[in-house]
Amino acid sequence: MLIQVNNENFKAETSSGVTLVDFYADWCGPCKMIAPILEEIANDRNDFNILKLNVDENREISMQYGVSSIPTLLVLKDGVEVGRHIGFAPKPALIQIVEKHL
């Protein structure tokens, strides 16, 4: 299951374990392309969390992580950034990005 996060609950949702965060915007074409892939991964896997953060509505977190292009996918481990991917990627690549940090 994908979890929608915002400035208020971001830290709590990313504080433990491995988390993939999708920084996106509703108007972004590549973001729309990657969304169903992330949903599929979230339904298939339970060894890491997948969060979505709308950059237009949550500029504070976006600026904190230096997100200037979307989609940006961050891998956080216990709240610390351990990986980053910018742009669209197919399902196997997305899984590989996260599995390196499990």
Q: Which residues are catalytic?
A: 28, 31
Q: How many angstroms separate the CA atoms of 10 and 5, rounded?
A: 6
Rounded CA separation 29/9 (Å): 26
* Residue (of 73, 62, 67) closest to 95 by Cα position: 73
